[in-house]
Amino acid sequence: DGASPRTGSAYAFDGATSALEVIDSRLHGLDELTLMMLVNLDSAGEANNGHLMYKSGEFTWRVLPSGQIECVIQYGTTNAQAISATGAYTTGAWAWLTCRIGADAVPHLYVNEVEVSYATQTTGSGSRTAGTGSLFIGNDSGQLATLDGAVDEVLLFDRALTDGEIAFIVERSGI
């Protein structure tokens, strides 16, 4: 319907000290996953390293300066990594950001329902690592990489969604 997110219900991250911690053992050691977040970013965050989601020993998903997005999924031999080309996201507007990795160990990044162009895209090798730590939204576990902006929706799937499923979620949100 083209409606904007209800900003009064969004979580605000201040770029300095904010974080949400999720403690749930069902999040440990997922072989495939899709991370999605509806955000309105003000900047690249604390130290130009604003973490969207972080799970120690498993993955780091963050925004970088120049509009880049990075997702690193940890594997035993070579980590899977995707870094978007510059200008993948803009500040001051609502957008869906997505990181997806499937059985092929190749990470994919999306802004809204469109896959980005990549500066780097590395296939992971070896076994997926499994950490027992918490999932952090909007920061890392050391509270040193705070996101700067608002987060209205956070979705984590234990499988790699298809392009069509990602598009469906984005289109249904009206963004």
What was the pLDDT predicted at 3? Answer: 41
Higher pLDDT, 144 or 116: 116
Q: What is the 3-state secondary structure (H, E, C) of 25-64?
A: HHHCCCCCEEEEEEEEECCCCHHHCEEEEEECCCEEEEEE
CA distances from 69 to 4, 107, 133 (A): 23, 12, 23
pTM, two decimal places: 0.91
Name all domains of the chain by residue range, CATH numbers in brackets: 13-170 (2.60.120.200)
Terminal Cα distance for the chain, rounded: 9
- Is the pLDDT at 89 greater than 70? The verdict is yes
